[in-house]
Amino acid sequence: MRTQTSALRSKDLLGIESLTPEEISLILDTAEGFKEVSERPVKKVPALRGQLVINLFMEASTRTRVSFEIAEKRLSADTLNFAASGSAVEKGETLIDTAQNLMAMRPDMIVIRHKHPGSPKMLADLLPASVINAGDGAHEHPTQALLDAFTIRERLGRLAGVNVSIIGDISFSRVVRSNIHLLTKMKANVTLAGPPTLIPAEIERMGVRVVHSLDEALEGADVVMMLRIQLERQGKLSFPSLREYFNTFGLTAERLGRARDGVLVMHPGPMNRGVEISSDVADGPFSVILEQVTNGVAVRMAVLYLLAGAHLAEHQG
Amino acid sequence: MKTKKKLLDGVRMRRAIHRMAIEIVERNRGTEDLIIIGIRSRGVPLAERIAQRIEEVEGTAVPVGILDITLYRDDLTTIAPQPVVKPTKLPEPIDDKIVVLVDDVLYTGRTVRAALDALIDFGRPRAVQLAVLVDRGHRELPIHADVVGKTVPTDREEVIKVKLEEMDGEDEILIQERIEEK
């Protein structure tokens, strides 16, 4: 049989920061092949048959966990879900002990979400299994950025030169960090907007532009990415009230009228309707929010598939 | 890779493809319910050419599809890095149709085994037939071709290189010899 070769360099996907533009393109190209699988009458291929994937979710998640699980099942992998609640973690077991115990059961891959930045890296260094970061604190959420990029590329045909405005809670968002790394590597132009209290100092050094009004951010944008106000991560509000936030930075149909026709409205979910986005925009003609969810499965299938190959290369090497 | 022999030049190769098209129509007594599906990558332009020949001769267009078998390979967990995955595109449902799978070279039969598994996930064709440009022998599975452009006995060390204008800029089939990398 013929083989076309192309691969990821690492056995793990810990963040976008360490990927090259070629690796990002490889993942997005591969995801195109996988998107078609989800449209078949039999939505399953035997590629990862016999491989065990453990989903280790130590922090609440619906969309990402379900998306990974569907991706794993469509690749015929065996999956096991492990959540913090109801486990030995509640009895005081450390993450390292939990992971080593899981490893003793010989999984091939571990998908981890954890509130502490760097925990996926710690596991990756410790364990022979491939580790996929499904969100670590405010650090990175690589598969979210990849599915965002996939959606933009599918809709607009390219990433280079696309003007992407990201609006909202910049400082607490791992989605933003991964997206900035990805979009700047792929030569898109990134603009950030939000209340000054939610924009980290010197973020411009990541190669982005910062503006302080929504109108300015909408001007010339091809893509508007709205972020969720992460009440649970802030402790207390960094702005006077949710109502005031909506009046200043909430995306409404009227304000969206200032963006160009055909602008893409994106949101990583879950949405706070009436806080960062109004319902008529979220459900409106420019919204690709549900497409993002569909594409998430294809992108995660691509990542699992490619890492299975990288993992193998390491073993053979 | 050292070229030992030119098996077919462009003219003879195009003649063989023409004959394959005629044979497909003949064995199915026409073009009714036919779907021609090329296996990526070199089966795809071949499938298109066969469909084109059929249309020229019979005056009816035959639907053409593309099958990517990567995810159905039996060696996925032993080869690294992974082969690139591309979409499968079928023009219409294959239920109760006669599917003609097209590939450039038939060798071990493992590609065809994967293609059959992939195809069955899309429905239940009335029949599946196999058309290959070159049958070089050395089967490892009980699989045979229904329509063959050229049968050629080979050694396992040899490589059959099918070049197609659409992908390689010229039409020809070469027998090459693998040179051991020391």
Residues B69/B70/B73/B76 CA torsion (nearest 10 deg):
-170
Judged by average pLDDT, the poorest of A195-199, A313-317, B63-67, B147-151 is A313-317
Find chain A residues with C-beta within 8 A of B113's C-beta: none
Tell whether the model's pLDDT for residue B26 goes beyond 50: yes
Question: A-B interface: how many C-beta pairs under 8 angstroms?
Answer: 82
Token pair, residue B180, equals 């051991």
% of chain B surpassing 70 pLDDT: 95
Tell whether the model's pLDDT for residue B167 goes beyond 90: yes
What is the edge-to-edge ordering of all strands in the sheet holding A264-266? A209-211, A189-193, A163-167, A223-226, A264-266
Q: Does B138 touch chain A (CB under 8 A)?
A: no
Q: Do B81 and A5 touch (CB under 8 A)?
A: yes
A90-139 confidence digits (pLDDT tens): 777 888 898 888 889 899 999 999 999 999 999 999 999 999 999 999 99
The 3-class SS string of chain B reads CEEEEEEECHHHHHHHHHHHHHHHHHHCCCCCCEEEEEECCCHHHHHHHHHHHHHHHHCCCCCEEEECCHHHCCCCCCCCCCCCCCCCECCCCCCCCEEEEEEEEECCCHHHHHHHHHHHCCCCCCEEEEEEEEECCCCCCCCCCCEEEEECCCCCCEEEEEECHHHHCCCEEEEEECCCCC
Query: Residue A1: pLDDT band by 50, 70, 90 thresholds?
Result: very low
Task: Please state, in angstroms and as integers, the Cα–Cα distance from residue A173 to each residue in A75, A116, A179, A213, A228, following that order.
Answer: 30, 13, 10, 19, 9
- Whole-number pLDDT of residue B131: 98
Mean pLDDT across the stretch A179-189? Answer: 98
Q: Which amino acid is at A278?
A: S
CA-CA distance, A44 to A70, in Å (whole number)? 10
Find chain A residues with C-beta within 8 A of B81's C-beta: 5-8, 309-310, 312-313
Q: Do A33 and B76 touch (CB under 8 A)?
A: no
Find chain B residues with C-beta within 8 A of A308's C-beta: 77, 82
- Residue A91's contacts (CB-CB under 8 Å, 6 or more residues apart) are none
Mean pLDDT across the stretch A144-165? Answer: 98
Q: Which residue of A has its CA nearest to B93?
A: A41
Q: Enter the DSSP assignment of A197.
A: G
Token pair, residue A237, equals 């509000």
Q: Does A7 touch chain B (CB under 8 A)?
A: yes
- Of B52, B166, B68, nearest to A4 (Cα)? B68
Distance from CA of A305 to the nearest CA of B (A): 8
- Whole-number pLDDT of residue A3: 42
Distance from CA of B111 to the nearest CA of A (A): 6
- Residue A82's contacts (CB-CB under 8 Å, 6 or more residues apart) are A54, A55, A56, A57, A102
Run of H or E including A238: none
DSSP letters spanning A248-300: HH-B-HHHHTTSPTTPEEE--S---BTTTB-HHHHTSTTB-HHHHHHHHHHHH
Q: Which residue of B has its CA nearest to A302?
A: B85
Token pair, residue A148, equals 């965002």
- Whole-number pLDDT of residue B84: 82
Residue with tokens 């190769």: B13
B167, B42 Cβ separation under 8 angstroms: yes
Find chain A residues with C-beta within 8 A of B73's C-beta: 1
Burial class of residue B52, CB neighbours in 10 A (0-12, 13-18, 19+): middle
Mean pLDDT across the stretch A254-269? Answer: 93
Q: Does B49 touch chain A (CB under 8 A)?
A: no
Distance from CA of A267 to the nearest CA of B (A): 27
Mean pLDDT across the stretch A154-158? Answer: 97
Q: Before B87, cis peptide (omega within 30)?
A: no
Q: Does A40 touch chain B (CB under 8 A)?
A: yes
Q: Does A208 touch chain B (CB under 8 A)?
A: no
B81-101 confidence digits (pLDDT tens): 677 889 999 999 999 999 999
